Chains A and B, each alone.
Chain A
Amino acid sequence: MSAAPDSPSTGAATSPARTAIDELRRGFATSGYIASEAIATVVHLARALSKPVLVEGPPGVGKTELAKAAAIQFDKPLIRLQCYEGLDEARALYEWKYGKQLLYTQVLKEKLGDLMAGAEGLKESIARLHEFDDTFFNEEFLEPRPLLKALWAEHGAVLLIDEIDKSDQEFEAFLLELLADYQISIPEIGTVRAKHPPLVFLTSNNTREIGDALKRRCLHLYIPFPDSALEQRIIESRVPELEARVRSQLVAFVQALRGLDLKKVPAVSETIDWARTLVLLHANELDNQLVRQTLNVLLKFQDDIEAVDAEVPALTRAAVRG
């Protein structure tokens, strides 16, 4: 290996990767997605090495949002495949348009009669039919599903395979060919190869362990809950109407809440919802009553709400004091 001729060694601050990553972060920020250093790095690497990204993390930290933001950022269509138990090739990759095929055969029945005219015996008829073999199994009659759509996309695409952990292991294995080579084999047509490798994001909530084979083919990004500085920036970008003072109180409150032993700790999406709620209520400071009334935006289990209820005064006081 030798140094690329167009990368002069000009010190740490302006290495090409660094510039690209900083640019990405700025780009994401303008479209309202506050990307951490790790997120920007993984997107840069995914494009540079053309590898899919497996995104893991607790629910509601913006895994799906990342794909959406990337689609906006690179001005590519977002193609989304939601996984669930029992998802199969027919729904993920392609299906034949049976109806259309049947209809065409009906309509063309007479034409077929004409074609067959003059053919003597079964053998010759079949030989003649063979000349039109692929008429009914070509791309005309193919109904592309998300994966095939992503491969066919003219100018590339962002493919989001959401909640891969919900799908069956068979489906996971089926994805391997797509993820490694950006191609897929369809028995009737052959191998379909992507013109422009799509940027692929897979998300997982870790309800089950993802197979090693899949992990090997992906870059791995873990998005944890954001720290308070980052969360403040996220709220600032998403809910700019909220006053700075309330914002910092709110973030401090949520951060403290995550330290408690709850069934489901509030995620970033819930913090945003809460911020919107407070804007609607014209709140300019957190107080006990306000928190108690709106706690159901933040916590989704009655057990959790009851458990936190007693702690509200202490938490609020701490948050207000900063």
Chain B
Amino acid sequence: MTQVLSDFIKALRAADVRVSTAESIDAAATVEQVGFAERALLKTALAQVLAKSIDDKARFDDCFDRYFTSAELATVGGGATDADASAAADDAAAESMASAGGSGESGAEGELVALLERGDTAALQRLLGAAARNVQLQNIRLFTQRGMYMRRILEDMGIEAVDDLLHALVRADDDDPRAARLRELKAQLVENVAERVDREMLLYTANAGTRLREEVLQKTPLARIEMRDFKVMQELVRKLAKRLVSLHARRRRVARRGRLDVRHTIRRNIEYDGLLFDTVWKRVRVDRPKVIAVCDVSGSVAQVARFLLLFLYSVSEVIPKVRSFAFSNHLGEVTALFETRPVEDAISATLNDWGMGATDYGGALAELERLTLDDIDHRTTVLILGDARSNYSDPGDRALRRIHERARRVLWLNPEPRALWNSGDSEMRKLGACCDRVEPCRTLRHLERVISEIARTAI
């Protein structure tokens, strides 16, 4: 039973459900309570012990259904409420099989032959389960290992005896009806084993591929990400955002040493009869940052803008106040769009509405100054995303300088590699001089770093 359960937990972990050791112990205690006999009850109970968020519950359900197929549960439960009995039965079957394998050498027909010819599916299933455990099928990682594991399982079940018998029968008589039937049964068995191996591989490696892909995607330049990967990317952004939120959700308080909090000090020192042993200092709550995001949405930058906006709005718990602007040849505020529509829709609409035309940095930054200068204060971070290619017109550095003077800081994110900055019509040098920092921003990694920075260094 413990083996079955720990394999299941392994499968859960492969499916990205985080299960701690303490929780696996709880799961074992739960199984002892409810038993394996009633599938629905087992599922409800284990879900409450092992899956602790709505996402996890969905993944748990999926994993449970695949792991405990009804056939599997029948063999695990063995028809009895007590699961240990069946585990013991499994072991017994394995043991008897081992001895059968040994005796197969001496010419006696193995137990497997008997089971096959009798058509005892339940016993076969149990034997298969025991063999899978013996060869540690749960360690399967790669598609190419399938054949090897299949062979090992078959050997463990005692396929050799079947083969020997087949040989002997065929040698005696070419079309022995028993040989034909046995061949058929063997083919069926092999198919069963293959099915089992495939299922387990799916269970334990389901997410390995996804994980690899996510890792690669994080390092791929955003402009080069293909349409078909968008779904994965959005999911990935959401995942990263969630991590950032939990990292920064704690509102920190900073003690301002030197200013006594009289009220709290007196309150705390009542227990010392009013003598001020324990002093309390005034604390300042760290403010949430205000962010003004300005995105160039023309051409290749648009792709990066899409993910920047997606990211920014996904961390609204830690950065609640975002005003966003989009521009190519004109600049306009799109904040309202994001407030009324789902983020993905809003982004597509933004790209559609503002994405046409040649970029005009001079005009856009002047317009930005006109629209936001009154709103910019010492808490505002201005985030500008663009390649700074102004088509040889005014780069708008004077407007940006005035914004910089008011704002807490101005960050410029450039999706081009550093080597291309200042080449051709790129005005990165002029514009960069009016910013606190200029960062290359090509991949999801870069984006995560920038957003994390904004969330962390409030005040």
Question: Contacts of A10 on B, CB cut-off 8 Å?
Answer: 81
CA distance A170 to B100 in the complex (A): 62
Q: Contacts A41-B48, A212-B18 hold; do A7 and B249 have CB atoms under 8 A apart? A: no
Is the Cβ of B29 less than 8 Å from the Cβ of A220? no
Q: Mark B237-251, 1 if CB is under 8 A from A, else 0.
A: 000001001100110
**Contact across chains for A49 and B33 when beta carbons are under 8 A apart:** yes
Contact A222 B246 (CB under 8 A): no
CA distance A72 to B1 in the complex (A): 37
Q: Which residues of B contact A38 (CB under 8 A)?
A: 44, 48
Question: Closest residue to B77 on the A side, CB-wise?
Answer: A12
The listed residue (A45, A98, A208) touching B45 by CB distance below 8 A is A45
List of A residues within 8 angstroms of B158 by Cβ = none
**Bound state CA distance, A76 and B52, in angstroms?**
27
A190 interface residue (CB < 8 Å to B): no
Residues from chain A with a CB closer than 8 A to the CB of B249 are: 169, 208-209
* CA distance in complex: A3, B18 (Å): 29
**A219 to B242 alpha-carbon distance, docked (Å):** 23
* B-contact 0/1 string along A186-223, CB 8 Å cutoff: 00000000000000000000001100100111111110
Q: Is the CB of B245 within 8 A of A216?
A: no
Q: With A and B bound together, what is the CA distance between A254 and B49 in angstroms?
A: 32
Is there an interface contact between A3 and B84, defined as CB atoms closer than 8 Å? yes
**Smallest CB–CB gap between A143 and chain B, Å?**
13
Instruction: Kindly state whether residue A117 has any CB partner on chain B within 8 Å.
Output: no
Task: Tell me whether B80 and A49 are in contact (CB under 8 A).
Answer: no
Find out whether the CB atom of A220 lies under 8 angstroms from the CB atom of B48: yes
CB-nearest residue of chain A relative to B54?
A222
Q: Contact check, A45 vs B37: say whether CB atoms are below 8 A apart.
A: no
* A216–B20 touching, CB < 8 Å: yes
Q: Which residues of B contact A3 (CB under 8 A)?
A: 82, 84-85
The reply to whether A18 and B38 form a contact with Cβ atoms under 8 Å apart is yes
**What's the tally of chain A residues with a CB closer than 8 Å to chain B?**
39
Nearest CB of chain A from residue B275's CB, rounded to whole Å: 13
A311 nearest CB across to chain B (Å)? 19
For residue A11, CB closer than 8 A to chain B, the reply is yes
Q: Once the chains bind, are A9 and B38 in contact (CB under 8 Å)? A: no
Smallest CB–CB gap between B84 and chain A, Å?
6
Tell me which residues across on chain A come within 8 A of B82, comparing CB atoms: 3, 7, 9
B270 within 8 A of A: yes
A51 beta carbon closer than 8 Å to chain B: yes
Q: Are B37 and A220 in contact (CB under 8 A)?
A: no
A209, B52: Cβ atoms under 8 Å?
A: no
CB-based contact A1/B48 at 8 Å: no
B284 close to A (CB within 8 Å): no
Residue numbers in B under 8 Å from A269 (CB-CB) = none
A10 to B37, CA, bound (A): 10
Partner of B41, one of A21, A49, A54, A222: A21
Contact, CB under 8 Å: B270 / A98: yes
Within 8 Å CB of A102, what residues of B?
A: 273
Given contacts A49-B29, A49-B30, contact A7 B81 (CB under 8 A): yes
A42 to chain B, nearest CB (A): 5
B226 within 8 A of A: no
B33 touches A17 (CB 8 A): yes
A6 to B57, CA, bound (A): 33
From the candidates A7, A15, A45, name the one contacting B38 in the complex (CB within 8 A): A15
- A219 cross-chain contacts in B, Cβ below 8 A: 26, 48-49
Q: Are B246 and A209 in contact (CB under 8 A)?
A: yes
Per-residue interface assignment for chain B, residues 42 to 69, with 1 indicating a CB less than 8 Å from any chain A CB and 0 otherwise: 0011001101111001000000000000
Assess the A42–B20 pair: CB atoms within 8 A. no
Contact B44 A51 (CB under 8 A): no
Contact partner, A11, options B2, B37, B45, B48, Cβ 8 Å: B37
Are A11 and B23 neighbours in the complex by a CB distance under 8 Å?
Answer: no
How near does chain A come to B277, taking the closest CB pair, in angstroms?
A: 14
Q: Which of B23, B35, B49, B52 has the most CB of A within 10 A?
A: B52
B85 to chain A, nearest CB (A): 7
A220 and B53 alpha carbons, distance in the complex (Å): 8
Bound Cα distance from A212 to B23, whole angstroms: 12
A169-B38 contact given A41-B45, A45-B30, A216-B20, CB 8 Å threshold: no
A166 to chain B, nearest CB (A): 13
Contact residues in A for B1 (Cβ distance below 8 Å): 1
**A49-B29, A220-B52 in contact; A17/B271 too (CB < 8 A)?**
no
Asked if B317 lies at the interface with its beta carbon under 8 angstroms from chain A, I say: yes
Which residues 56-106 of A have a CB within 8 angstroms of B? 56, 96, 98, 102
Other A-B pairs, 5, CB within 8 Å; known A1-B84, A42-B48, A48-B33: A3-B85, A37-B41, A48-B29, A212-B18, A219-B49
What are the nearest 10 A-B pairs in CB distance?
A220-B52, A9-B80, A12-B37, A215-B52, A17-B34, A9-B81, A3-B82, A219-B48, A98-B270, A41-B44
Q: Please give the residue numbers on chain A whose beta carbons come within 8 Å of chain B beta carbons, in ascending order.
A: 1-4, 7, 9-12, 15, 17-18, 21, 37-38, 41-42, 44-45, 48-49, 51, 54, 56, 96, 98, 102, 169, 208-209, 212, 215-222
Q: What are 20 A-B pairs with beta-carbon distances under 8 A? A: A1-B84, A2-B84, A3-B82, A3-B85, A9-B81, A12-B38, A15-B81, A17-B33, A18-B38, A18-B41, A21-B41, A41-B34, A41-B44, A42-B48, A44-B33, A45-B45, A98-B270, A216-B22, A216-B23, A222-B57
